[in-house]
Structure 1
């Protein structure tokens, strides 16, 4: 079998062979060797950007920083400058990999990776998917993602899908008629795995549940399902396992960095310690002990084109107590720092708590397919939902009662039934959004 995927990467200037070799060496380091590797890499990337990146130099303010902890924390706002002002010398626009973040955190921006660091990202993806018997050169992917709607963007994406052995199921319309068409494709195509946005894949599983179908029975080639970009709740994971009949793997990544954490075959959410250095910090940017929640701050150890050094990604998480530098385990991802509901009493609650409490009631009888929550005022929330039947007053009262217990009483809710929920231009569903 010709390695079309690897060849395409090489033709685009990404040295995948060298990247795979280096990744392999990093994985096989002993604990002591890894500690030395990490120390050297951190020093090397900071020194490189101090020497070659005027933007990073300005951020440091020209002072000599002795300790890692004294380096500034980068955030998306810092990075909202024209790309030309952020690129390192020797890495012009023509020589780097360019992309832009989805803007799901509210601040999209364009970023660059040098070709080698992007090849390492692919090597890391290839290795991790390989844990589950998936080979990008051979395996056929059912891809649940958005797609550009302009003619050229659409054609380009379809060509990329063809070269990458993927069949795309666009997620902008997930009505029963469309899901039925998806299902027919699984009967005729030999898919090896599903990959895509959690919310869309969960909706497909709910449709299968309603029809009493297990996907593996009609598509026996299926080996696994990988969900990304949105929270995977435990009950949804159980539903997916039941309706698909294959392992469900949860990944957490950021386009500007790499895969950040990926569920390993033991079911642990293993952090990528080969190309990234992940810290969990408190409000004052001090490291917190394992087992304690804090903001996730990430350093890209190889990207020379664009500095991502102590970069605050905008998420809150907890590293497991059993984490080691070489094998950190993400115990819990709590969600976006900017998705917080601020309540009249002054209490702050992660938007996902809100979402979760509502979810446990609203989805009881399988009537509501999906929903989002918007906070419009301190005490006012709008819930938009897609369902077979309108919610009745009893269900609405139940939601109010549960929220009064978990969060606080006297909050106002309006419920709007919709045919389809608004997704981002990439097809992500933003489960909670505050307009305060």
Structure 2
């Protein structure tokens, strides 16, 4: 029984129609794919101009001609009541309604029409099948948060049951809890792992300390999918070693769906079937492939709510090898608003600071995980989890690395903790500005 597809159908999300539509899109040859994309771009803009008063007001009086003149939507533009953003014929009664996590600093409620939502799940299922995983039959070990109120908790548990998922709540990541996780892997047959990067990495470090390869205790395991948080090459090596299976980086957004997924050749293939992805400069002009810029996305099928040239809040670049049918994400550099201000006034991506810290602190495996918070221009607090506080010698090495890679005069404070705080969904914000 295809329980996952059945649950979508029972909730009036036409998953079978969506799978058939996706199959037809996938059959479009490369030589005709640019025409398909251009046609869908024009259709979705025209549709919302004709049917969505909110978008018509946002678009303004400019005529719809040159694509680069289509205004870029910011998350702040959508922070108004959802009722005022619906297209004609849609309401909260006949769409999928969700809420973003707010990791960009701009949480909001959004809507997707039922076919668009089903198409998102068809896309996920198609990509997972690259690795022999089927949402209708493969069992998932799910490293996610869970609502703590009784209704939300029950709802998520019910969704897990229909989705062949067993959830590992990640608000407690102590060694004692990790032992319980390990027993579950020993007693249950999981086909794949899916969840937040930081929590899965922490579990891998626990296995490393115990000298355990996860596939040895759970031979059915085929794949690990990490999502929602930054993923580093050292983490990938650790996970593949301790889990004994391929590790894939997934890039998605709750308001849009799947954005990119790594194929078996290691290419981060963007979703070209139902999304149009651009990388633009500060003026909104598309940059050449290989150059970094702001990631802007158009949802080609969402008729309930416009996401057209929508700036998701990330920066990255497209590979020069990209084509219309197979666009490839070369780099994902993190949030556009995650920038560190140094004493000299120089501004650098917060991710730069994080790379340096990670390479120094985690090199000897002494620290399990950490976060970096900027408390004032040039001042940073590094909160880390380890069994014992870092020695003075280790702290000096971190400070020296900061001077080498960034600049002198940084005001660094270190905060030893037993656990790190995560948001309500269990996500760890790895760089944060507090002033």
**Count of matched residue positions in the alignment of Structure 1 and Structure 2:** 435
Matched, 1:248 2:247: yes
2:14 matched residue in structure 1: 15
Please give the alpha-carbon distance, in whole angstroms, between the structure 1 residues aligned to 2:394 and 2:422.
25
1:79-158 counterparts in 2 under 5 A? 79-158=78-157
Alpha-carbon shift at residue 352 of structure 1 (Å): 1.3
Please give the alpha-carbon distance, in whole angstroms, between the structure 2 residues aligned to 1:234 and 1:68.
36
1:22-421 counterparts in 2 under 5 A? 22-421=21-420
Alpha-carbon shift at residue 60 of structure 1 (Å): 1.2
Please give the alpha-carbon distance, in whole angstroms, between the structure 1 residues aligned to 2:172 and 2:33.
47
Please give the alpha-carbon distance, in whole angstroms, between the structure 2 residues aligned to 1:399 and 1:191.
39
Q: Which runs of 5+ in 1 are unaligned?
A: none
Runs of 4+ in 1 over 6 A off after TM superposition: none
Q: TM-score, normalised by structure 1?
A: 0.99
1:427 matched residue in structure 2: 426
Deviations 1:325-350 (A, max 9, x none): 11000011000001110112121111
Please give the alpha-carbon distance, in whole angstroms, between the structure 2 residues aligned to 1:27 and 1:325.
12
Please give the alpha-carbon distance, in whole angstroms, between the structure 1 residues aligned to 2:122 and 2:166.
22
Please give the alpha-carbon distance, in whole angstroms, between the structure 2 residues aligned to 1:345 and 1:413.
15
Deviations 1:184-203 (A, max 9, x none): 10000000000000000000
Please give the alpha-carbon distance, in whole angstroms, between the structure 1 residues aligned to 2:280 and 2:34.
20
Taking only aligned residues, the RMSD between alpha carbons, in angstroms, comes to: 0.8
Alpha-carbon shift at residue 178 of structure 1 (Å): 0.4
Alpha-carbon shift at residue 370 of structure 1 (Å): 0.6
Q: TM-score, normalised by structure 2?
A: 0.99
Please give the alpha-carbon distance, in whole angstroms, between the structure 2 residues aligned to 1:250 and 1:356.
18
Alpha-carbon shift at residue 235 of structure 1 (Å): 0.4
Alpha-carbon shift at residue 30 of structure 1 (Å): 1.1
Alpha-carbon shift at residue 351 of structure 1 (Å): 0.9
Please give the alpha-carbon distance, in whole angstroms, between the structure 2 residues aligned to 1:221 and 1:106.
39
Alpha-carbon shift at residue 62 of structure 1 (Å): 3.1
Deviations 1:366-419 (A, max 9, x none): 221110010001121111111011011111111111011111111011111112
1:131 aligns to what SS in structure 2?
helix
Please give the alpha-carbon distance, in whole angstroms, between the structure 1 residues aligned to 2:53 and 2:434.
36
Please give the alpha-carbon distance, in whole angstroms, between the structure 2 residues aligned to 1:236 and 1:68.
39
2:204 aligns to what SS in structure 1?
helix
Please give the alpha-carbon distance, in whole angstroms, between the structure 1 residues aligned to 2:31 and 2:49.
28
Q: Is the 8 A contact 2:143 2:194 kept in 1?
A: yes
Alpha-carbon shift at residue 291 of structure 1 (Å): 0.5
Alpha-carbon shift at residue 365 of structure 1 (Å): 2.2
Q: Which runs of 5+ in 2 are unaligned?
A: none
Alpha-carbon shift at residue 172 of structure 1 (Å): 0.8
Please give the alpha-carbon distance, in whole angstroms, between the structure 2 residues aligned to 1:46 and 1:13.
26
1:6 matched residue in structure 2: 5
Deviations 1:186-223 (A, max 9, x none): 00000000000000000000000000000000000000
